[in-house]
C-alpha cells in the first residue's frame, strides 16, 4: 500500500471514529448538550481536527442520519428476491422491527430526534433523499400489490403512510419502554411475543383490505 492509500485509509478511519463518538455522546447526553469540543475530547484529538472533516455539529448529525438510512435500506434490500409483493410487504414489516430493535440508538436518531431534519431543511441546498429512498421502497411494494389487484380502491401513498405510522408507533413504544409499562410485561420474551402478536394482528387488517 502506497503513502497516498495509507493517508486515505487513515482519513476514513478517523472520520468513522468521529461519527461513532458523536453518536454515543448524542445518545448519552442529547444533541444540544454536546459540542465539537466534547466530541474531540472523546477521541482525544483537538477540535481543529474535527473541523477538517465537518464544518459544524449539524453536518455530523446529518452524516449519521445518512448512514442510518442506508442501513435501514439494507434490511429491506435483502427481501428483493421475494417475488410476491404482499409477502414482501409483510417481510418488510418484520425487517423494520428487527432494524429498530437491533439498532435502537440509530432508530432514535432517524425517527425521534428533530435536529437532522432541521439541518436538511435549513442548510442543505441539494436534494436530500436518504429517508425518501426508504419510504419509496415501501410505496413501490404497495404499488406492486395493486398491480396484482390487491388494495384496489386505496390510495397507495396514504396506505404506505398508514403502514409506516403503525410500524413506527409499535417500535417507538417498545424502544421507549412504554410497551412494557402498558402491558406490565417483565421479560424480553414477553415483549418480543407482544410485538409479534401485535404485528400479526396488523397483518390481519392488511389481509382484510387487500382484496
pLDDT digits (tens, 9 = 90+) for 153-186: 999 999 999 999 999 999 999 988 887 666 565 6
**How much is the average pLDDT of 15-27?**
91
Cβ(36)–Cβ(51) below 8 Å: yes
- In this predicted structure, what is the pLDDT of residue 203? 95
Residue 81's contacts (CB-CB under 8 Å, 6 or more residues apart) are none
**How much is the average pLDDT of 44-72?**
90
| DSSP percent split of the chain into helix, strand, coil, nearest 5 | 75, 0, 25
Q: How far is 99 from 74, CA to CA, in rounded Å? A: 10
Give this prediction's pTM: 0.84
Q: Extract the C-alpha cell encoding 123.
A: 442548510
- In this predicted structure, what is the pLDDT of residue 119? 60
Amino acid at each position: 500500500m502506497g503513502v497516498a492509500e495509507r493517508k486515505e485509509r487513515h482519513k476514513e478511519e478517523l472520520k468513522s471514529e468521529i461519527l461513532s463518538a458523536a453518536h454515543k455522546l448524542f445518545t448519552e447526553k442529547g444533541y444540544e448538550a454536546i459540542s465539537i469540543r466534547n466530541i474531540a475530547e472523546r477521541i482525544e484529538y483537538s477540535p481543529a481536527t474535527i473541523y477538517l472533516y465537518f464544518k459544524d455539529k449539524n453536518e455530523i448529525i446529518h452524516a449519521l442520519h445518512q448512514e442510518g438510512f442506508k442501513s435501514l435500506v439494507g434490511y429491506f434490500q435483502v427481501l428483493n428476491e421475494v417475488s410476491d409483493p404482499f409477502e414482501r410487504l409483510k417481510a418488510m414489516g418484520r425487517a423494520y422491527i428487527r432494524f429498530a430493535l437491533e439498532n435502537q440508538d440509530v432508530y432514535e436518531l432517524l425517527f425521534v430526534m428533530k435536529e437532522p431534519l432541521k439541518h436538511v431543511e435549513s442548510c442543505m441546498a441539494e436534494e436530500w433523499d436518504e429517508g425518501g429512498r426508504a419510504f419509496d421502497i415501501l410505496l413501490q411494494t404497495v404499488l406492486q400489490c395493486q398491480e396484482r389487484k390487491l388494495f384496489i380502491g386505496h390510495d397507495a401513498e396514504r396506505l404506505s403512510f398508514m403502514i409506516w405510522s403503525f410500524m413506527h408507533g409499535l417500535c417507538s413504544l417498545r424502544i421507549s419502554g412504554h410497551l412494557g409499562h402498558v402491558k406490565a410485561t417483565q421479560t424480553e420474551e414477553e415483549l418480543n411475543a407482544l410485538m409479534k402478536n401485535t404485528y400479526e394482528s396488523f397483518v390481519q387488517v392488511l389481509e382484510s383490505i387487500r382484496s
